[in-house]
């Protein structure tokens, strides 16, 4: 088992590998689910290569992704950190609006513990802010679960600054998970300074722009049925064509660094703050190894300046979400 560089999330000292593994796409979101045995093999490969931080949620599937992660990581329970999430209603096997009422949070925690085959959830995120439930109640409920030994750390996902502050005042928030990458940079305005001030870690999901920043997805690419990218404005043929400038920039830096565009995109995130831990997802072993390789890529001040200057000239075309999905974020 290799040792990967570690980073700390939050001031209570949750130590994890410098990058984690987002497991959603193994079961959900990008077309047909992967073969269970193959995905277990991939998760085992991640552990072997030094990853200690795994991300799932009850709604991925629903349920099947947590079951997969629980089964795969059962032999490594004391060596890994598993993050999962609450906050949606699931009706007839489909996500049906947000729900962070205290009794619901407790119900989800009990079910997740069983599916993950653990006695305690390492990091429990509110998946999306619920406008019907004051965030203080949510934080208080997770705080109780922490006192009861059922949860270790509390996290938020896609929450705005005001929500983060209010939650943190009741129960320390260890990590915020939100989308952040070279083509989704909104967290830089208010979120990152707030996290720095409060001592909260940042876990960017989709650090490779759902595959786009890996540089293999041109305007002719097509997605499988059931792949969410079929509905997202940023993945239309026109948008992919217009956003190609970002790939050209990553390629330029990659050649200089003897790396791949994906490695540069992740290394750029790692260079922003020492408490940022990206969680790229994949279903392929060689991509996993490639992503882990980004930890060894060092971007100098000059490299970062070059990326900054060049990316400032590139106007990203297409919203990251549909209007309806955007409404479900707390940003």
pLDDT tens figures, 179-231: 999 999 999 999 999 999 999 999 999 999 999 999 988 778 899 999 999 99
Cα three-residue angle 104-131-27, rounded to 5 degrees: 55
d(CA 8, CA 238): 40
Closest among 208, 177, 182 to 281, alpha carbons compared = 208
pTM of the model: 0.97
Regions of the chain where pLDDT drops below 70: 331
Closest among 206, 224, 216, 221 to 30, alpha carbons compared = 224
- Give residue 331's pLDDT: 62
Domains of the chain, with CATH numbers? 6-209+273-297 (3.20.20.100)
Asked whether 53 and 45 are in contact (CB, 8 A), the reply is: no
Buried b (16+ CB within 10 A) or exposed e, 212-245: bbbbebeeeeebeeebbbeebebbbeebbebbbe
Enter the tokens of residue 234: 């940023």
Active site residues: 60
Enter the tokens of residue 270: 């790692």
- Give residue 143's pLDDT: 98
Cα dihedral sign, 21-195-208-259:
negative
Enter the tokens of residue 154: 């509390």
Asked whether 131 and 110 are in contact (CB, 8 A), the reply is: no
């Amino acid at each position: 088992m290799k040792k990967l560089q570690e980073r700390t999330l939050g001031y209570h000292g949750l130590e994890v590998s410098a990058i984690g593994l987002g497991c959603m796409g193994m079961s959900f979101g990008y077309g047909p689910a992967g073969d269970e045995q193959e995905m277990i093999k991939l998760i085992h490969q991640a552990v072997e290569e030094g990853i200690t931080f795994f991300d799932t949620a009850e709604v991925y599937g629903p349920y099947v992704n947590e079951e997969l992660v629980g089964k795969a990581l059962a032999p490594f329970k004391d060596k890994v950190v598993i993050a999962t999430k609450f906050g949606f209603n699931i009706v007839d096997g489909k996500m049906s609006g947000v729900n962070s009422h205290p009794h619901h949070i407790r119900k989800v925690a009990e079910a997740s513990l069983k599916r993950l085959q653990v006695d305690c959830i390492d990091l429990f995120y509110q998946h999306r802010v619920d406008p019907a439930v004051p965030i203080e109640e949510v934080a208080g409920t997770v705080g109780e679960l922490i006192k009861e030994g059922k949860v270790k750390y509390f996290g938020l996902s896609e929450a705005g600054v005001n929500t983060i502050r209010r939650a943190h005042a009741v129960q320390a928030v260890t990590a915020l998970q939100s989308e952040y990458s070279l083509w989704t940079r909104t967290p830089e305005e208010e979120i990152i300074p707030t996290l720095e001030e409060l001592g909260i870690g940042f876990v960017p999901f989709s650090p490779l722009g759902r595959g786009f920043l890996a540089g293999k997805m041109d305007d002719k690419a097509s997605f499988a049925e059931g792949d969410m990218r079929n509905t997202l404005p940023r993945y239309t043929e026109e948008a992919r064509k217009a956003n190609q400038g970002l790939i050209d920039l990553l390629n330029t830096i990659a050649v200089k660094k003897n790396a791949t565009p994906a490695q540069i995109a992740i290394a750029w995130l790692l260079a922003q703050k020492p408490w940022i831990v990206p969680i790229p997802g994949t279903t392929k072993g060689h991509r996993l190894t490639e992503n882990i390789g980004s930890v060894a890529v060092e971007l100098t001040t000059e490299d970062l300046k070059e990326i900054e200057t060049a990316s400032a000239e590139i106007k990203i075309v297409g919203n990251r979400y549909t209007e309806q999905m955007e409404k479900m974020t707390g940003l």
